[in-house]
């Protein structure tokens, strides 16, 4: 079985490498390449990280499709290594490897590594933020509070979804009796200030442009929900594209894990193991927010991606070998078909 899994990993990686050289530009590639040709502190639609990523790779490799695909692939490889590093903070080596393979089996990684979107740098810096926050809180290394602020700021420079990072940090500290003491110190607040400082290019651009981007991504989207008309197609659409994004076994296992969590702990969430509480603090807020919004608003396929960094890590403890094997067989079949 282990050899079959290695063959499966090799097949998926090979498919992705081939795709880099044969896949033409996607609309998103062209759109964000246009960003990179006009450097700015930020942009109307999104922050600037994806623009600077593509700018660097097209400067090194040349202005061509391969350069754009390599930019996405190289940064996603970095995300996978960071995810493995994060997994080692929670599991023994064998389990950390299995968790990383689960991440590799998803279409989410394929999209991040082959199509230019702000999610590619977002997921990289999101994962880095979780590593630094874990080190700051669990290992009591004060320098990592500063590093976490830098990582969270770079995540915000990638996409506005990064606001859930400081929210998750505070949620964990509030719910964790043994770590609540940090709220009475300067460190989490200093981390937040560093995040704001690193995010200053986006903030300055919005000040200079009448907060156009913040309004477009915030108040205007909220205004679109004001009608509050329930549309079942939106909900089933979300379920459908998330089943495809994670593969059915992994996506359904998230609900199974939540069911087991509620069954075991019921309302006593504060008595959760600290590792579970940490991972859930960065998974549940985004996951549940968009899940509950989906009956009244069209949630795009990539909006829930950051939640899955800690979500996959958390739910992997429920995976037995049979589930694991099924997940990978489905993944290989779908990747070959695509």
- The per-residue pLDDT for range 36-58, each reduced to its tens digit, is 999 999 999 999 999 999 999 99
Q: What is the mean pLDDT of residues 202-230?
A: 80
pLDDT above 70 covers a percentage of the chain that reads 92
Residue 228 has a CB neighbour count (10 Å cut-off) of 8
Q: Which stretches does DSSP call E strand in 154-283?
A: none
pLDDT-derived band at 318 (thresholds 50, 70, 90) equals: confident
Quote the CA–CA distance of 203 and 205 in Å, as a whole number: 5
Distances in whole angstroms, Cα of residue 147 to Cα of each of 153, 180, 187, 193: 10, 20, 11, 12
- Is 77:27 a contact under the CB 8 Å cutoff? no
- Is the pLDDT confidence value at 15 over 80? no
Judged by phi (left if over 0) then psi (alpha if -120 to 50, else beta), residue 106 lies in beta
- Is the pLDDT confidence value at 267 over 60? no
pLDDT value at residue 87: 95
| Mean pLDDT, all residues of the chain | 90
**Model confidence, pTM:** 0.93
pLDDT-derived band at 268 (thresholds 50, 70, 90) equals: low
- Is the pLDDT confidence value at 72 over 70? yes
Q: From the centroid of its chain, how far is CA 11? A: 24
pLDDT-derived band at 22 (thresholds 50, 70, 90) equals: confident
Judged by phi (left if over 0) then psi (alpha if -120 to 50, else beta), residue 277 lies in alpha
Quote the CA–CA distance of 119 and 46 in Å, as a whole number: 10
- Is the pLDDT confidence value at 269 over 60? no
Of 49-53, 121-125, 220-224, the range with the lowest mean pLDDT is 220-224
- Is 18:37 a contact under the CB 8 Å cutoff? no
pLDDT value at residue 288: 95
pLDDT-derived band at 21 (thresholds 50, 70, 90) equals: confident
- Is the pLDDT confidence value at 306 over 90? yes
pLDDT value at residue 9: 65
In 3D space, the residue among 242, 247, 259, 234 whose CA is nearest the CA of residue 318 turns out to be: 259
Residue 113: both structure tokens together = 């590594």
In 3D space, the residue among 105, 108, 100 whose CA is nearest the CA of residue 83 turns out to be: 100
pLDDT value at residue 272: 83
Residue 261 has a CB neighbour count (10 Å cut-off) of 18
Residue 259: both structure tokens together = 């069911």
């Amino acid at each position: 079985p282990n050899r079959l899994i290695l063959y499966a990993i090799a097949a998926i990686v090979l498919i992705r490498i081939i795709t880099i050289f044969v896949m033409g530009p996607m609309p998103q590639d062209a759109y964000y390449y246009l960003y990179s040709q006009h450097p700015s502190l930020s942009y109307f639609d999104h922050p600037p990280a994806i623009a600077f990523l593509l700018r660097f790779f097209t400067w090194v490799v040349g202005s061509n499709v391969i350069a754009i695909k390599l930019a996405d692939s190289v940064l996603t490889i970095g995300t996978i290594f960071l995810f493995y590093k994060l997994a080692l903070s929670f599991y023994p080596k064998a389990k950390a490897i299995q968790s990383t393979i689960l991440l590799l089996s998803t279409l989410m990684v394929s999209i991040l590594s082959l199509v230019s979107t702000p999610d590619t740098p977002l997921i990289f810096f999101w994962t880095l933020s979780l590593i630094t926050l874990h080190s700051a809180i669990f290992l009591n290394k004060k320098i990592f509070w500063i590093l976490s602020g830098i990582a969270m700021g770079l995540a915000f420079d990638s996409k506005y979804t990064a606001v859930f990072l400081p929210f998750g940090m505070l949620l964990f500290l509030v719910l964790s009796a043994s770590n609540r003491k940090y709220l009475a110190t300067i460190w989490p607040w200093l981390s937040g200030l560093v995040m704001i400082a690193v995010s200053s290019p986006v903030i300055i651009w919005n000040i200079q442009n009448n907060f156009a981007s913040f309004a477009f991504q915030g108040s205007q989207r909220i205004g679109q929900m004001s009608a509050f008309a329930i549309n079942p197609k939106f909900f089933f659409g979300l379920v459908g594209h998330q089943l495809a994004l994670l593969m059915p076994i992994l996506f359904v296992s998230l609900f199974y894990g939540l069911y087991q969590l509620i069954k075991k702990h019921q309302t006593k969430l504060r008595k959760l193991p600290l590792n579970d509480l940490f991972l859930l603090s960065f998974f549940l807020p985004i996951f549940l927010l968009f899940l509950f919004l989906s009956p009244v608003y069209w949630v795009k396929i990539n909006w829930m991606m950051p939640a899955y960094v800690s979500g996959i890590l958390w739910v992997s403890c429920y995976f037995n070998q049979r589930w694991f094997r099924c997940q990978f067989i489905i993944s290989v079949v779908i990747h070959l078909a695509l």
